[in-house]
Amino acid sequence: MSAIADVARLAGVAKATASRALSGHGYVSAETRDKVIAAAREIGYVASPNAASLVTGRTQNVGVIIPFISRWFFGEVLESLEQALLVQGYDMTLYNLPPASPERDRVFDFFLARKRFDGIISVGVALSEQEVDHLHRLGRPLVGIGGPIRGVPTIEIDDVASARLATEHLLSLGHRDIVHVGGSQIDEMDFHVHSNRLRGFQAAMVAAGLSVSGCFYAAEFTMPGGYERGLALLGDPRRRPTAIFAASDEIAFGLILAARELGIRVPTELSVIGIDGHPHAEMFRLTTLVQYPRAQGELAVRILLAELGTRGGAAESTVLPTSLVIRASTSAPRARPH
């Protein structure tokens, strides 16, 4: 209700002076500044961000596009984004865009077109060429988490190398009969994550002189997804591998549950390794390649805000490290009864 004009009147100065005093831009004597601030406090003045952004073009808000909320990686990223933005005085508009959302076009054409944000962070969304163009035309900086996006600084882990490392861990333990359970590139448009992890797996296998044919099984990227796949895969003792590289910890958990249910001992009869560093990994004693989604979120915010500061300082893409944490879900294979 109270406008800056009221503050100015109460402090006995002009609107312009009050604005300068409160925003800290331009010359104001210490004395008047105090007077204005006191007046503002007295009537409980809060600046209208609408009016301010109308003229400055700055909204102090960042838009976030994300395909999932409840999956661990995404939830974690979201929390860290929110946190980091809050500290910097930005709030966050959330656009949840599941892979096959019917609202997808509306989000781009209507919501994002309103430009009620200073920048966008896109988390694990596979953007079409057209959508990338669309975003570029908005004239707002864009930072991506995951996957390369044309002309956009992104933050990611090296999926190929991480998958390779995970597979090599199994190989180094002496496993030869290894299977990869991961996401399918077709039904989930979850970027290149799936295909990159598959490629890393295959690279490691081939380098070890092993065949990769028939070594990949698709699963939904969830614990039940891993569980279902595990029951089907491990049910037949003759075709059972000695080790599985799961593309995510949640899949790995499901596989472990399936194994337990079938009376297969982990790791004695079956080794399992995942990727993520999910907080439940400790409970499942899962060996995994941990990535740090919170670090990715924080870095994304830092890069975006830096780009907001220096118009056009095109930042480069960053690859964040992963680290192998060995727990009790992997061991050397049992001597095979031949």
Q: Compose the 48-77 pattern: x for residues touching DNA by CB under 7 A, - for all others.
A: x--xx-xxx---------------------
Residues in CB range of 8: below 8 A, 6 or more apart? 14, 15, 17, 18, 36, 39
Select the binding partner of residue 79 from DNA, a second copy, none (C-beta < 5 to 8 A, by kind): a second copy
- Smallest gap from Cβ 50 to a second copy, in A, equals 5
Write out the two tokens for 303: 């890069």
Parallel, antiparallel or unpaired: strands 287-290 and 323-325: antiparallel
Which of 34, 105, 133, 282 binds a second copy (CB under 8 A)? It is: 282
- Tokens 């009147």 appear where? 9
First to last CA, the chain: 83
From the list DNA, a second copy, none, which binds 217 (C-beta under 5 to 8 Å, kind-based)? Answer: none
**Would you mind telling me the total number of residues written for the chain in this entry?**
338
Please, which of residues 251-270 interact with a second copy by CB under 8 A?
254, 257, 260
Q: Return d(Cα 335, Cα 107) in angstroms, integer.
A: 56
Query: Is 12 a binder of DNA (CB under 7 A)?
Result: yes
Q: Is the peptide bond before 241 cis (omega within 30 degrees of 0)?
A: no
Can residue 61 be called a binding residue for a second copy (CB under 8 A)? Answer: yes
What minimum distance in Å lies between the beta carbon of 53 and a second copy?
A: 5
Task: Provide the β-strand partners of residue 142.
Answer: 120
DSSP per-residue letters across 114-161: G--SSEEEEES----HHHHHHHHHTT--EEEESS-BTTB-EEEE-HHH
Distance of closest approach, residue 129 Cβ to a second copy, in angstroms: 19
303: partner contacted, choices DNA, a second copy, none (Cβ within 5-8 A by kind): none
Alpha helices for the chain (secondary structure H): 4-11, 15-23, 30-42, 49-56, 72-87, 104-106, 129-137, 159-172, 193-207, 223-234, 249-261, 281-284, 293-309
The only residue of 32, 53, 195, 318 in contact with a second copy, by rule CB under 8 A: 53
The residue among 55 and 283 lying less far from DNA, judged by its C-beta, is 55
CB of 1 to a second copy, least distance (A): 9
- For DNA, the binding residue among 32, 60, 184, 185 (CB under 7 A) is 32
Q: Which is nearer to DNA, 14 or 314 (CB)?
A: 14
* Strand 119-123 to 271-276 pairing: unpaired
State the helix-helix crossing angle for 15-23 and 30-42, rounded to 10 degrees: 90
Hunting for tokens 């001597």 — which residue is that? 335
Residue 92 in contact with a second copy, rule: CB under 8 A = yes
Nearest approach, Cβ of residue 93 and a second copy (Å): 5
Per CB under 8 A, contacts with a second copy among 211-230 are 223-224, 227
Residue 66 in tokens: 């994300």
C-beta of 34 vs 110, nearer to a second copy: 110
Q: How far is the CB of 278 from a second copy (least distance, A)?
A: 10
317 contact partners, CB below 8 Å, separation of at least 6 = 148, 153, 154, 155, 156
Query: Is residue 43 within the footprint of DNA (CB under 7 A)?
Result: no
Nearest one of 176, 181, 186 to 333, comparing CA atoms = 176
42 touches a second copy by CB under 8 A: no
Residue numbers at the binding site for a second copy (CB under 8 A): 46-51, 53-54, 59, 61, 69-70, 72, 75-76, 78-79, 82-83, 86-87, 89, 91-96, 103, 106-107, 110-111, 113-116, 223-224, 227, 254, 257, 260, 279-280, 282-283
Residue numbers at the binding site for DNA (CB under 7 A): 1, 3-5, 12-17, 19-20, 22-23, 25-32, 45-48, 51-52, 54-56
